[in-house]
A and B are shown apart, each in its own frame.
Chain A
Amino acid sequence: MQGRTLPYRFGLRVLAFVAALTALFALVDRTTPRWPPIWLARLLPELPEDLARLRSADGKPLFLGDSVLHTAAMNEPDRRNLVRMLAKELETDIVRVSHGASGMDRYLAQVRYLLRAGVRPSSLVVLVNPRTFGPTAERNPSWSFALTNRMYTRPLLSRLQAVLKWDFGIPDEDEFLATEIRIGETVLGPLGALTRPGLEDPPDDVIRNRYLSRYATDIRTSSRLRDLAALARLTADAELPTLFYITPIDVQSMKQFLSAEEFGHVQQNIRTLRAVLRDTGATFLDLSTLLPGGDFDHPRADPHEHLRSTGRLKCVRKLAEAVQQLEGQG
């Protein structure tokens, strides 16, 4: 009898050891908020620089966002990005931490890191991009920054997890392209077949599908929506003066391709974002319909939210006012 149970007792001992070690690593992660991330982060692209920037935000306005914050069209005379324009307008230093395809999950991780590290910006501005709550951004495996996000708060365990390729839950490219796109009650089909990624000059129905899949799917089940609410509550609890702003989307071009009913779903998503922010008591600015199509800098067939300098300037005027009010509160 003893012989038959021997392998299982051995297995349990190994499991107990692994559990004990995991607990030890978790304890180290939890009790040392300041030291580990920067050193560990050097092994991931972007992260060391981001951490350094976050740490430099003490006492300064901090902007968290995606590529909308740092891009400018190549052929523009004024190639300053939005944050640089705003810094000029406010005559102050602004710390920007932004990367392409970032979403609310990343901003939440960054703010958690800030608070644990004891860094306190004078104000925090968080860009809310409606597209990032939809499946084209949230389920895109190339834009999944789950590991990066975890590294902000659990560097040791997250790194071990990454080394062991414990990355379940992130869809692969095939699953992503097979994502079913549903607008209201209507099932349109799989994302890949609808949007034909890689097709540079697609017909209008494909462009329409691209608008629909990026902006019109129901975002109420998005995990990033929960992250938005969590971030709003976190900053409120920490009494960190925070402004959320919904970035402009190209409504004018969108209306050329979508029916009134379909556009209604886009508006509903904006209302959802506003409702979440309102319910959590957050300060927010809705710039989603601020700009005409000419202020956007995207190809006709590839809609996104990058702005031309004219658009950036209009945003900056709105943001400058709001940030000044926010700084006044701080």
Chain B
Amino acid sequence: MLFNSYPFLLFLPIVFAAYWAFGRRTQNVVLLAASYVFYGFWDWRFLGLIVLSSLVDFVAGQAIQSGRRRRMWLGASLLVNLGALAVFKYLDFGIESLAALLRTLGFDAHPATLGIVVPVGISFYTFQTLSYTLDVYRGRVRATQDPLAFFAFVAFFPQLVAGPIERAKNLLPQFLRDRVFDPELATDGCRQMLYGLLLKVVVADNLALVADAAYQAPDQADGWTLLFATWAFAFQIYADFAGYSHIAIGCARLFGFSLMRNFATPYFSRSPAEFWRRWHISLSTWFRDYVYIPLGGNRVAPLRASFNVLVTFVSSGLWHGAGLTFVVWGGFHGLLVALQARLAPDADERPLEGRTLTSPRELGRLILTFQLVCVGWVFFRAKSLADAWLVLRTISSGIFTALPHGASPALLVIPPLLVLEWWQRDAPHGFARLGGTRPARWGLYATALLALALFGQVQTVPFVYFQF
């Protein structure tokens, strides 16, 4: 079920009404049932995977907590979750990669891939539930005795298919205590959902057409067209994913839940490392806590620390998709962050919140960081490594031999977005602090809906991160 679809417009009020009619335990039942319905709208057959993952991790958590065969149960949890990921997401990629390797070695290898359908959201919920067993194993979280709460925690529909990837420490206790309806929080939740919807259908979906047109056949586009398309994609993927996160967080608030912030105006970052503190925060902190730090983090020799960064980012790239483009994208960011750590470890990254840019140098770093991130997006968006190289070559040769041209009017959605986000950069979302009086607030909502009607994209563009 898509957030921006009419089934969800019917689904949400029904679940909301049912949920608040009951006490905590029944509320969890309502949420669990609603979450399975929400997921089943895509493909009910894959519900079994979520149930299996939840069941194994619940039992593993109990066993680890009791101290019996802790390693074995952790291994079982890792096997089931990472095994599901490996089969559904990486098996075809592995077969194809092996065949490609054999072909380059001169063998005649043309194996059939299995054509496995990747279940929506598998990367998100497996990481969420995996973090639970890992935290129980490390003694950071106590295993829950309430299976209903745990199953609802794994399947919580607002963030089930595209995050934020919550930690048990933050979200699970919320399922175990009574929720109180707070009209202020719920109102802000609605506002955040509206902002997310605007980001998705006005910004992301319009820019998607610009990016798709150029990246569909990059050999037929010139340098400026590809540069504009890459910028369009940078804002498309931000608005798409941040939009989803805002809707998820706002939706959770209607049910009395508080989810973690997933994006903090990432394109105002002044270095690659800062970008990763502001972009997809729930995933980057997951990799920090469960990959980077266990590898030794930065408390090792400098070269080893750089290696740790690289491994972490390549893993993050692979998490996004089974493809060499994602591996290179992750590796590229890993290199940037590692280089920054080596060359400019003391870069000034005072919070932007509450102040304006202080110097042209800072603005320059912001622009440079954005352009570097865009180089990474070329690999992320291109269909193949060859296409990515072609795009980079065409841009680098094309923009110096011709004046800017071919900018789509759709790009005009970017400046207002930047202004709004800069203005609201110390707030959790773009509409958080707008409209002090009731008429002003109502005016804001009416304007937002009018903008949806006037500028929203009619063509259906799936959320980019659903494929991961």
Interface residues of A (CB under 8 A from B): 3-4, 6-8, 10-11, 14-15, 17, 21, 24-25, 40, 43-44, 147, 156-157, 159-160, 162-168
A165 with B6: CB separation less than 8 A: yes
Closest chain-B Cβ to A156's Cβ sits at a distance in Å of 5
A7 with B186: CB separation less than 8 A: yes
Please measure, in the bound complex, the distance between the C-alpha atom of A165 and the C-alpha atom of B9, giving whole angstroms: 10
B4 within 8 Å of A (CB atoms): yes
B445 with A156: CB separation less than 8 A: no
A11 with B16: CB separation less than 8 A: yes
Please measure, in the bound complex, the distance between the C-alpha atom of A159 and the C-alpha atom of B180, giving whole angstroms: 37
Please measure, in the bound complex, the distance between the C-alpha atom of A43 and the C-alpha atom of B453, giving whole angstroms: 11
Decide yes or no: A160 and B2 within 8 Å by CB, A7-B181, A21-B446, A24-B446 being known contacts: no
B452 with A7: CB separation less than 8 A: no
Chain A residues within an 8 Å CB radius of B452 = 160, 163-164
Taking a contact as CB atoms closer than 8 A, the residue among B16, B446, B458 that contacts A163 in the complex is: B458
Which residues 416-468 of B have a CB within 8 angstroms of A?
A: 442, 445-446, 449-450, 452-454, 456-458, 460
Please measure, in the bound complex, the distance between the C-alpha atom of A3 and the C-alpha atom of B183, giving whole angstroms: 10
B9 with A10: CB separation less than 8 A: no
A166 with B6: CB separation less than 8 A: yes
Please measure, in the bound complex, the distance between the C-alpha atom of A15 and the C-alpha atom of B450, giving whole angstroms: 17
B391 within 8 Å of A (CB atoms): no
Closest chain-A Cβ to B119's Cβ sits at a distance in Å of 21
Instruction: List 6 tightest A-B contacts by C-beta distance, closest first.
Output: A163-B456, A7-B20, A160-B453, A166-B6, A7-B181, A165-B5
A163 with B6: CB separation less than 8 A: no
Closest chain-B Cβ to A169's Cβ sits at a distance in Å of 11
Fill in one digit per residue for B164-190: 1 if any A CB lies within 8 Å of its CB, else 0: 000000000000000011010011001
B13 within 8 Å of A (CB atoms): yes
Please measure, in the bound complex, the distance between the C-alpha atom of A117 and the C-alpha atom of B187, giving whole angstroms: 41
A3 with B453: CB separation less than 8 A: no
Please give me the residue from chain B that is nearest to A167 by CB atom: B6
A163 with B457: CB separation less than 8 A: yes
B386 within 8 Å of A (CB atoms): no
Chain A residues within an 8 Å CB radius of B458 = 43-44, 147, 159, 162-163
A165 with B2: CB separation less than 8 A: yes
Please measure, in the bound complex, the distance between the C-alpha atom of A65 and the C-alpha atom of B198, giving whole angstroms: 37
Closest chain-B Cβ to A48's Cβ sits at a distance in Å of 14
Closest chain-B Cβ to A69's Cβ sits at a distance in Å of 26
Closest chain-B Cβ to A32's Cβ sits at a distance in Å of 13
B5 with A11: CB separation less than 8 A: no
B181 with A6: CB separation less than 8 A: yes
B183 with A6: CB separation less than 8 A: yes
Chain A residues within an 8 Å CB radius of B16 = 7, 11
A10 with B456: CB separation less than 8 A: no
A163 with B201: CB separation less than 8 A: yes
Please give me the residue from chain A that is nearest to B186 by CB atom: A10
Taking a contact as CB atoms closer than 8 A, the residue among A11, A159, A168 that contacts B453 in the complex is: A159
Q: Is the interface of B mostly helix, strand, loop or mixed?
A: helix
B17 within 8 Å of A (CB atoms): yes
Please give me the residue from chain B that is nearest to A39 by CB atom: B454
Please measure, in the bound complex, the distance between the C-alpha atom of A163 and the C-alpha atom of B452, giving whole angstroms: 7
Residue of A15, A25, A160, A163 with highest tally of chain B CB at under 10 A: A163
Q: Is the interface of A mostly helix, strand, loop or mixed?
A: helix
B454 with A14: CB separation less than 8 A: no
Show 12 A/B contacts (Cβ-Cβ < 8 Å), sorted by A: A3-B180, A6-B181, A10-B181, A17-B442, A43-B458, A157-B453, A160-B453, A163-B456, A163-B457, A164-B5, A164-B456, A166-B5
Please measure, in the bound complex, the distance between the C-alpha atom of A160 and the C-alpha atom of B2, giving whole angstroms: 16
Chain B residues within an 8 Å CB radius of A40 = 454
Chain A residues within an 8 Å CB radius of B456 = 159-160, 163-164
B453 with A163: CB separation less than 8 A: yes
Please measure, in the bound complex, the distance between the C-alpha atom of A14 and the C-alpha atom of B17, giving whole angstroms: 13
Please measure, in the bound complex, the distance between the C-alpha atom of A8 and the C-alpha atom of B16, giving whole angstroms: 9
Chain B residues within an 8 Å CB radius of A10 = 181, 183, 186-187
Closest chain-B Cβ to A223's Cβ sits at a distance in Å of 21
A21 with B449: CB separation less than 8 A: yes
Please measure, in the bound complex, the distance between the C-alpha atom of A4 and the C-alpha atom of B181, giving whole angstroms: 9
A11 with B201: CB separation less than 8 A: no
Please measure, in the bound complex, the distance between the C-alpha atom of A254 and the C-alpha atom of B456, giving whole angstroms: 46
Closest chain-B Cβ to A5's Cβ sits at a distance in Å of 9
Please measure, in the bound complex, the distance between the C-alpha atom of A44 and the C-alpha atom of B458, giving whole angstroms: 8
Please measure, in the bound complex, the distance between the C-alpha atom of A149 and the C-alpha atom of B18, giving whole angstroms: 37
Please measure, in the bound complex, the distance between the C-alpha atom of A165 and the C-alpha atom of B4, giving whole angstroms: 7
Chain B residues within an 8 Å CB radius of A8 = 17, 20
Closest chain-A Cβ to B181's Cβ sits at a distance in Å of 5
Which residues 24-43 of B have a CB within 8 angstroms of A?
A: none
Chain A residues within an 8 Å CB radius of B6 = 164-168
Closest chain-B Cβ to A10's Cβ sits at a distance in Å of 5
A21 with B445: CB separation less than 8 A: yes
Please measure, in the bound complex, the distance between the C-alpha atom of A3 and the C-alpha atom of B20, giving whole angstroms: 10
Chain B residues within an 8 Å CB radius of A15 = 13
Chain A residues within an 8 Å CB radius of B457 = 43, 163
Chain A residues within an 8 Å CB radius of B449 = 21, 25, 160
Please measure, in the bound complex, the distance between the C-alpha atom of A163 and the C-alpha atom of B16, giving whole angstroms: 24
Please give me the residue from chain B that is nearest to A15 by CB atom: B13
Chain A residues within an 8 Å CB radius of B187 = 10
Please measure, in the bound complex, the distance between the C-alpha atom of A25 and the C-alpha atom of B454, giving whole angstroms: 12
Closest chain-A Cβ to B458's Cβ sits at a distance in Å of 5
Please measure, in the bound complex, the distance between the C-alpha atom of A26 and the C-alpha atom of B13, giving whole angstroms: 23
Please measure, in the bound complex, the distance between the C-alpha atom of A2 and the C-alpha atom of B6, giving whole angstroms: 31
Closest chain-A Cβ to B191's Cβ sits at a distance in Å of 11
Chain A residues within an 8 Å CB radius of B186 = 7, 10
Please measure, in the bound complex, the distance between the C-alpha atom of A43 and the C-alpha atom of B6, giving whole angstroms: 21
Please measure, in the bound complex, the distance between the C-alpha atom of A32 and the C-alpha atom of B445, giving whole angstroms: 22
Closest chain-A Cβ to B144's Cβ sits at a distance in Å of 26
Please give me the residue from chain A that is nearest to B19 by CB atom: A7
Please measure, in the bound complex, the distance between the C-alpha atom of A163 and the C-alpha atom of B183, giving whole angstroms: 28
Closest chain-A Cβ to B199's Cβ sits at a distance in Å of 13
Please measure, in the bound complex, the distance between the C-alpha atom of A164 and the C-alpha atom of B387, giving whole angstroms: 34
Taking a contact as CB atoms closer than 8 A, the residue among B442, B454, B460 that contacts A159 in the complex is: B454
Closest chain-B Cβ to A292's Cβ sits at a distance in Å of 43
Supplied contacts A156-B453, A164-B6, 7 more A-B pairs, CB within 8 Å: A4-B20, A10-B186, A14-B190, A15-B13, A159-B453, A160-B456, A168-B6
Closest chain-B Cβ to A12's Cβ sits at a distance in Å of 10
